[in-house]
Structure 1
Amino acid sequence: MSSLSAAVVTTEAEPAITRTAAAEPPTAAGQEQAEALRRIGAEATRRDAGLPADRRPARIGTLPVKVTFTDAYEKVGEEFRRPMWGLLGLGGDDVSPVGVDFADTSPTFSVVGPPGSGRSTTLAALAVSLLVSGTRLVVLAPRESPLRALGNHPGVRLITATEPTVEEFTEALESGSGPRVVMVDDADLFVLPDIDQNLRSLAQSGKDRGIGLVIATTAETMTGAMGWLGALKRHRKGVLLGPQSVLEGDFIGARLAHAHLRGRRPGRALTVEPRSGELISLQIPETTLD
């Protein structure tokens, strides 16, 4: 059984909004106003110390520049630590865990981005959290991929062939029992494979069979998606890493602005929050599989 560990990273924070202003010497009136605001803040803090969390103003946090899988998963509530729920990262105004529920809202999911943008790392975070919660995985990794390190895990069936046969895939999918998720890294190599009908069936009705499907691929592949990839694309569920065009928002059912294409950091992604339906930014946790 392979061990799963998270890389140690720094936790420097990125401010959500940066404002610049010319420095001005403080005036007596300005000092009095600042002191008055401090008194008001202290009084409000004392007055509302016992106020329930659901009655407090919404918290606006800042996304970390980097975060480990361990630190991110520690924030996941017990209600989400169940089969078929996988961790994507930390995001939203409150910088809380954002995940994929393969048993409910997202039976299929696409991780879309250019090479080197963190697609495999995103799959690794999903894989670890799914395995921890008791979900079995069938992993297709036709190229060198961090996911190949999971090959000795008892809850994983690994296929590295570039052209897996129907028999090989069916045997891996049907081995064992319980909830399962099929993970396809570098899905651009499976545009029209021999197992096209098998994967198309999962994309169309895998939820009814208790099987989720998640892929990692490029925007170019998704743009011209045919066969099983075309069936998966129609779900419009996923996450974007380093988007190059506003048209990529269609892959996740969102409308992008040109501002979303600028200054993307490694591991920073865009997705649609499943509860609110809003487009949010999130940080993918750095996850190392040993």
Structure 2
Amino acid sequence: MMLLLDRWEGFMGTLSEHDGGALTDLIHTLLREGASAGVHLIITGDHSLLSGRISSLTDEKVVLRLSDRTDASMAGLNPRKIPEHMPAGRGYRAGSAIELQVALIAPDPSGPAQVAAMHALAATLTEREASVPRAQRPSRIAVMPTELTFDQVWETLPAPAPGWALIGVGGDELEPIGMDLVNDLPTFLIAGPARSGRSTALGVMAESLLRGGAEIVVGAPLRSPLRDLAGRPGVRGVITDENPRDPDFAELMEPGDGPVVLLIDDAESWRDMLARDYVRQLIRQASGSNRAVVIAGEISSVAMGFSGWQVEVKKNRRGILLSPPTLSAGDLVGVRLSRAHLAERVVAGAAKAHLGDGSLQNLQIPC
């Protein structure tokens, strides 16, 4: 796979210091280790590329016309042997000083015309290779959407098994990603700061569970859009009490013909509820009983501490983090975060998911 990065200095100028540092670290890693995995990079930029770490990690360099030809010395070229006036596309290979001319892919030498010709060529090749098995095609890296509706994602899914809950889309192909609450572990945790999309993520899981044939019970101690599910087929009940007791859950969570899932929004508000022992026991016995528990809450307070029913959810190491602000947030889903995973600002629906394999996946939550 070939990764093309055009005008490096301009691209970096659009990023924050944090994002720019994370991207630079990634590029350094790809330059060091990418070739062994079949990943190669072509980077274009100004003279600053010749003085940084990228230069030392790059095997082949081509130096085109520079505003100051003495900068060519940073590539190991003798500036005195480079003409003062060079035509567009004329350059020298670093090290050997072999002169070369960059070829055009369209008669019109202007930048827009060359880009248009490249896009046309890509479209032609994509159509030509349409019959090639997917496993033999080059990897595709799709752009994460900023807006995505539930129906757009749902239409791409085959009929899911009851108990499978959609979370979002992610991966190179932006494929639907979900959690099997019946055949995997029966708990899931959603954590994020205010306005990060916690209730939206919980609502997506609820909607997909209902469409897949599961029944749900909603816990909403505070104002939550999930309260609007009351009365819908498949919704056994919506609990809104500030301090619910065991009977409030027991009748609604009785095993049925299919999966029954308890979804709790703003779960930190129920940390010390009267029914805490019942819910803790429910979580411990959920595996194999066709019952499951999904909770969502404030990232700084949900499932915190070393005991309690919410900690039982955290122990299963399944969940998503929405715009995580601190490294310690990784403990909620059982992974170690790096600074590159942290969010400088809250981006609604941008999530990092851990589904038990030790790796984090970037996801976009539909709305």
TM-score of the superposed pair, with normalisation by structure 1: 0.82
Partner of 1:266: 348
Cα distance in 1 for partners of 2:198, 2:89 equals 52
Cα distance in 2 for partners of 1:208, 1:54 equals 35
Partner of 1:198: 278
Change (3 A) 1:17 1:249: farther
Structure 2 letter corresponding to 1:196: R
Cα distance in 2 for partners of 1:253, 1:138 equals 26
Contact conserved, 1:191 with 1:226, CA < 8 A, in 2? no
Deviation at 1:144, TM superposition (A): 0.8
Contact conserved, 1:225 with 1:233, CA < 8 A, in 2? no
Structure 2 letter corresponding to 1:72: V
Q: CA RMSD in A?
A: 3.0
Cα distance in 1 for partners of 2:271, 2:219 equals 13
Partner of 2:150: 69
Deviation at 1:33, TM superposition (A): 7.2
Q: Bigger CA drift: 21-30 or 187-196?
A: 21-30
Cα distance in 1 for partners of 2:6, 2:156 equals 24
Specify every segment of 5 or more residues in structure 1 that has no aligned partner in the other structure, as ranges.
1-15
Cα distance in 2 for partners of 1:136, 1:18 equals 53
1:229 maps to which of 294, 310, 317: 310
Q: Bigger CA drift: 260-269 or 120-129?
A: 260-269
Cα distance in 2 for partners of 1:138, 1:203 equals 14
Deviation at 1:163, TM superposition (A): 1.4
Partner of 2:103: 31
Mapping of residues 165-176 of structure 1, within 5 Å: 165-174=245-254
Structure 2 letter corresponding to 1:167: P
Partner of 1:135: 214
Cα distance in 2 for partners of 1:106, 1:164 equals 25
User: For 1:128, what is the secondary structure of its paired residue?
Assistant: helix
Q: In the TM superposition, what whole-angstrom CA distance separates every residue of 1:21-75 from its partner, at most 9, and x where no partner exists?
A: 459895262234789x969968965764421122222221111011011112122
Change (3 A) 1:50 1:160: same
Of all paired residues, the percent bearing the same amino acid is 36
Paired residues, what number?
Answer: 268
Contact conserved, 2:319 with 2:355, CA < 8 A, in 1? no
Partner of 1:7: none
Mapping of residues 238-249 of structure 1, within 5 Å: 238-249=319-330
Cα distance in 2 for partners of 1:266, 1:177 equals 36
Change (3 A) 1:93 1:42: closer
Change (3 A) 1:55 1:137: same
Structure 1 letter corresponding to 2:262: V
Cα distance in 2 for partners of 1:243, 1:43 equals 42
Q: Which has the larger radius of gyration?
A: 2
User: For 1:259, what is the secondary structure of its paired residue?
Assistant: helix
Are residues 1:280 and 2:280 paired? Answer: no
Are residues 1:112 and 2:194 paired? Answer: no
Structure 1 letter corresponding to 2:251: E
Cα distance in 1 for partners of 2:106, 2:184 equals 48
Q: In the TM superposition, what whole-angstrom CA distance separates every residue of 1:71-94 from its partner, at most 9, and x where no partner exists?
A: 12122233xx22101111111122
Contact conserved, 1:191 with 1:225, CA < 8 A, in 2? no
Contact conserved, 1:91 with 1:282, CA < 8 A, in 2? yes
Mapping of residues 136-215 of structure 1, within 5 Å: 136-156=215-235, 157-174=237-254, 177-215=257-295
